[in-house]
A and B are shown apart, each in its own frame.
Chain A
Amino acid sequence: MIPDELKEIFEEFVLEAKEHLENLENKLLEIEKDSDNPELLNAAFRSMHTIKGGAGFLGLTAIVETAHKAEDILGKLKEGKLKFSPETGDILLKAVDFIKEAIRFYEDGETVETDPYLIKELTYILREKKQNVEEKSETNIDSLLKKYGLEYLIGKPIEEILEELVLLPPSKRPQEIVDYIDSLLSESEEEISDNTLIKVVEEEAAQKMLQMVEEEIIREDLKEDKNNNQEIKPKEITKQETKPKTPSKKEDEERVLRIDVQKIEDLMNLVGELVLDRNRLIRTVQEIVQNTTSNKYIEELEAVASSIDKIVGDLQLAVMKTRMQPVKRLFQKFTRVVRDLSKIVGKEVELVIIGEDTEMDKSILEKLEEPLVHIIRNALDHGIETPEERRILGKNPVGKIILKAYYQGDRVYIEIEDDGKGIDPQKVAQKALEKGLITKEQLEKLTEKEILQLVFIPGFSTKDQVSEISGRGVGMDAVMNTVLNFRGTIDIWSEKGKGTKISMAFPLTVGIIRSLLVSVSGRRFAIPIFLVTEILSVENVEIKHLSGKDVLILREKALPLINLYEMLKIPPSKTGYVIVCLIGNQRVAFTIEDLYGDEEIVVKPLGKIFGNLNGISGATITGDGKIVLILDIVELLKNKNLRI
């Protein structure tokens, strides 16, 4: 339990520790690929050290003990006394996970016990490595000496052996032993350093050796010029990339202010109110201007109103921007997810992240992790083949998953692409039939692409066995729900043998939607404009009846035509216009009575008592104080079985 007087410090610690843990995780994952990079090791070490310090001050023993051991390992790695291995990475990540979990428990006011098993594992890594190094030094040097017929040197201190070696003519000098001793010396430097005499000898020897080694390297370089270049280049590039990043991050940290989300929410709500009142003000001013003979006061009023109009618009944008966050933090989590999952399923997968600086609304970002996990799990589990299968198919044994974010228009796109086996539309169709999600007649009319879309229907899953990773097919419709909740759209492409791409598009912000205002039966409704592709006057369209249903013939294609009043179960009205909406990748036409232009509207909830209305996502107040309901076209269509 955290005593009250330390509560504030504890909260500070939690915030800081979470950042450090995230940083640690990323660094550890990078270290796995680039284990000799001292900067990465240093950064990881510092983060672990900071966590240990903070936890120590607060007396969070479980964290302190774990962090202490992990820090030891990182310290040894940093000093080159320990060699990084996959197990080391695993155990350090385990330690990070443990600390994360422990913080969660401490936050809930619970006590946390140190995990003795984890501590044992950490200690084991520390010990095992030391022993390994020592054992090697004994067995190897002896056998090496034997190998080169220098048995008389066995058992002598390394320094003496070195001296003897140095005295040998270069042509007879066994390079293997020299290299070996060199590496030994750099590892055991500290232990020997007490004795200055030895140190001098050692330094001389080391210098000489270095010269020799350098000559050797140059010779080898000449021999294997091409190969070496190829190998060295990528490493150099990664190092160059990490270097400039570090300073820029520091600058960022100094310019970042931590604010309670609630404060931003409040600000956002106030701006919402302001936007509504601004609309009202503008309307009133317009009416005054139209109905009154102009005088200087009215001119002044008009000028002020138009200035306020602009300022409020800018303010709205500025506040909205405070809610925008880069997808980086979210995306980076998946490096770990992919790493862990691919180990479990025995596949090799590389995650490529593109566009991590793309920003989107925090509230969408927060809800995106779960759907992305589902999709990536699917890609890993069902999409990517095993390394053997891939080899047979002539593919790179290492599979690739691309996680990408980018802007297009006023939407943010998140795409997940894999180069796995793709989805077989026939299998999808068969499964949908078996599960009774679709009838044979309906199926016949679907294009391949539309069939693929069936995977988003609740209760659908293509893999026959329920796998441990992807669960039971609740994944995809959960994804669909998140997407729809945020007025997003989702699309899927797949080619057999080549891979699958799932693309989600979200509005830049929540809370404010550009909408088309329409009327049906004398009541006004708002339709989010991103869905609307065309508006047609009813005189200019061709409407037909096909098997009892209305159909709009648009450029020789038949689109389902739906009477909005029917969907909303309100009295019928005459049709003045037809609007065409693009939903997913299907076009649907709606009849409406009249049009009232487009407006930026602030979404307000209707109230809990309505529950989920499946068709009305909220309401807004227009400039004249009237309430306009916002239609959720996608949900509305779900109520109706719509296929022609």
Chain B
Amino acid sequence: MEIVKAPKSAAALYGQQEIKVLEFLGVKIEDEFIGISLKNVLEISKILEIFPVPLSPSYIKGVINLRGEILPVISIKEMININESKQSTRLIIIETNLGKLAIMVDEVYGVIRISEDQLEPNPMTSIYSDYISNVAQIKHGFISIIDLDKLFPSRG
């Protein structure tokens, strides 16, 4: 009896298993529609005064004073080589392997929920595709999910 039951229950389990829904913050950087895992997003801020830091790489635009905390400001556009034509309007404060950072984005869409089975492996081989873990076709359009671990690898 047990032998018969086993595959049945396994199948039942499989059927019952919920498809995970993942949450992303949808942002626009130039023409790219990019999703940042909500787990990494701490807050969204307007552009604060940026103090440039000499001798640092050009994709680090400088540092901001966020309520007494000094955070580096990163230009994703420079990091992944997109020509800049639009002005960034928001800073997304994210937690990364390299600590808290602020990244500049042009527009913020809001929270986007994507079920796991909608996510597809990145088919592209563009310049920055190394930093894109997945893509998904959703009602807002085609979204690229950014891989923060690759963009900001921990040193060591």
A: which residues have CB within 8 A of B?
273, 276-277, 523, 568-570, 604-611, 613-616, 619, 621, 625-627, 629
Tell whether, in the assembled complex, residue B54 and residue A607 are in contact, meaning their CB atoms are under 8 Å apart: no
**Known contacts A613-B56, A614-B55, A629-B51; A604/B70 CB under 8 A:** yes
Q: Could you say which residues of chain A place their CB within 8 Å of the CB of B63? A: 606-607, 619, 627
Interface centre among B54, B55, B100 (most CB of A within 10 A): B54
**Bound CA span A568–B55, Å:** 6
8 Å CB contact of B54 from A605, A616, A627: A616
Tell whether, in the assembled complex, residue B68 and residue A277 are in contact, meaning their CB atoms are under 8 Å apart: yes
8 Å CB contact of A609 from B49, B54, B60: B60
Tell whether, in the assembled complex, residue B70 and residue A609 are in contact, meaning their CB atoms are under 8 Å apart: no
**Bound CA span A551–B65, Å:** 38
Shortest CB-to-CB span from B131 to chain A, Å, is 15
Q: Could you say which residues of chain B place their CB within 8 Å of the CB of A607? A: 63, 70-72, 98-101
Tell whether, in the assembled complex, residue A615 and residue B53 are in contact, meaning their CB atoms are under 8 Å apart: no
8 Å CB contact of B68 from A276, A568, A569: A276
**Known contacts A610-B56, A626-B51; A619/B70 CB under 8 A:** yes
- Smallest CB gap from A276: residue in B: B68
**Known contacts A607-B98, A607-B99, A627-B70; A569/B55 CB under 8 A:** yes
Tell whether, in the assembled complex, residue B70 and residue A606 are in contact, meaning their CB atoms are under 8 Å apart: yes
Q: Counting CB contacts under 8 A, is B20 at the interface?
A: no
**Bound CA span A604–B69, Å:** 8
Q: Which of B28-81 contact A (CB under 8 A)?
A: 49, 51-56, 60, 63-65, 68-72, 74
Tell whether, in the assembled complex, residue A621 and residue B70 are in contact, meaning their CB atoms are under 8 Å apart: yes
**Bound CA span A257–B100, Å:** 35
Tell whether, in the assembled complex, residue B152 and residue A609 are in contact, meaning their CB atoms are under 8 Å apart: yes
Nearest 10 CB-CB pairs, A to B?
Answer: A568-B54, A607-B72, A627-B51, A608-B98, A609-B98, A608-B99, A604-B70, A609-B72, A570-B54, A619-B70
**Bound CA span A605–B69, Å:** 9
Q: Which of B88-114 contact A (CB under 8 A)?
A: 98-101
- Smallest CB gap from B56: residue in A: A610
Shortest CB-to-CB span from B153 to chain A, Å, is 11
- Smallest CB gap from B102: residue in A: A607
Q: Could you say which residues of chain B place their CB within 8 Å of the CB of A570? A: 54
Tell whether, in the assembled complex, residue B55 and residue A609 are in contact, meaning their CB atoms are under 8 Å apart: no
Shortest CB-to-CB span from A629 to chain B, Å, is 6
Q: Counting CB contacts under 8 A, is B155 at the interface?
A: yes
Q: Could you say which residues of chain B place their CB within 8 Å of the CB of A610? A: 53, 56, 60, 72
Shortest CB-to-CB span from A593 to chain B, Å, is 14
**Bound CA span A273–B66, Å:** 13
- Smallest CB gap from B54: residue in A: A568
**Bound CA span A273–B71, Å:** 15
**Bound CA span A613–B74, Å:** 16
Q: Could you say which residues of chain A place their CB within 8 Å of the CB of B60? A: 609-610
- Smallest CB gap from B52: residue in A: A523
**Bound CA span A277–B49, Å:** 18
B: which residues have CB within 8 A of A?
49, 51-56, 60, 63-65, 68-72, 74, 98-101, 152, 155
- Smallest CB gap from A277: residue in B: B68
Q: Could you say which residues of chain A place their CB within 8 Å of the CB of B100? A: 607
Tell whether, in the assembled complex, residue A606 and residue B53 are in contact, meaning their CB atoms are under 8 Å apart: yes
8 Å CB contact of B72 from A606, A614, A625: A606
**Bound CA span A568–B101, Å:** 23
Shortest CB-to-CB span from B78 to chain A, Å, is 13
Tell whether, in the assembled complex, residue B65 and residue A609 are in contact, meaning their CB atoms are under 8 Å apart: no
**Known contacts A619-B63, A627-B70; A608/B53 CB under 8 A:** no
Tell whether, in the assembled complex, residue A621 and residue B98 are in contact, meaning their CB atoms are under 8 Å apart: no
Q: Could you say which residues of chain A place their CB within 8 Å of the CB of B98? A: 607-609
Tell whether, in the assembled complex, residue B53 and residue A629 are in contact, meaning their CB atoms are under 8 Å apart: yes
Tell whether, in the assembled complex, residue A605 and residue B56 are in contact, meaning their CB atoms are under 8 Å apart: no
Q: Could you say which residues of chain A place their CB within 8 Å of the CB of B65? A: 621, 625-627
**Bound CA span A606–B99, Å:** 10
- Smallest CB gap from B100: residue in A: A607
**Bound CA span A625–B70, Å:** 11
- Smallest CB gap from A569: residue in B: B54
Q: Could you say which residues of chain B place their CB within 8 Å of the CB of A609? A: 60, 72, 74, 98-99, 101, 152
- Smallest CB gap from A520: residue in B: B54
Shortest CB-to-CB span from B62 to chain A, Å, is 8
Shortest CB-to-CB span from A268 to chain B, Å, is 15
Show 28 A/B contacts (Cβ-Cβ < 8 Å), sorted by A: A276-B68, A523-B51, A523-B52, A568-B54, A569-B55, A570-B54, A604-B69, A607-B63, A607-B70, A607-B71, A607-B98, A607-B99, A607-B100, A608-B99, A609-B101, A609-B152, A610-B53, A610-B60, A610-B72, A616-B54, A616-B55, A621-B68, A626-B49, A626-B65, A627-B64, A629-B51, A629-B53, A629-B54
- Smallest CB gap from B152: residue in A: A609
- Smallest CB gap from A602: residue in B: B68
Q: Could you say which residues of chain B place their CB within 8 Å of the CB of A625? A: 65
**Bound CA span A605–B63, Å:** 11
Shortest CB-to-CB span from B145 to chain A, Å, is 21
**Bound CA span A592–B68, Å:** 27
**Bound CA span A416–B72, Å:** 41
**Bound CA span A568–B69, Å:** 24
8 Å CB contact of B53 from A604, A605, A613, A614: A613
Known: A616-B55, A619-B70. 8 other contacts (CB 8 A): A277-B68, A606-B72, A607-B98, A607-B101, A609-B152, A610-B60, A611-B155, A626-B51
Tell whether, in the assembled complex, residue B55 and residue A273 are in contact, meaning their CB atoms are under 8 Å apart: no
**Bound CA span A568–B152, Å:** 25
**Bound CA span A621–B51, Å:** 11
Shortest CB-to-CB span from B14 to chain A, Å, is 38
**Bound CA span A619–B68, Å:** 11
Q: Could you say which residues of chain B place their CB within 8 Å of the CB of A616? A: 53-55
- Smallest CB gap from A635: residue in B: B55
**Bound CA span A625–B67, Å:** 9
- Smallest CB gap from A524: residue in B: B51
- Smallest CB gap from B64: residue in A: A627
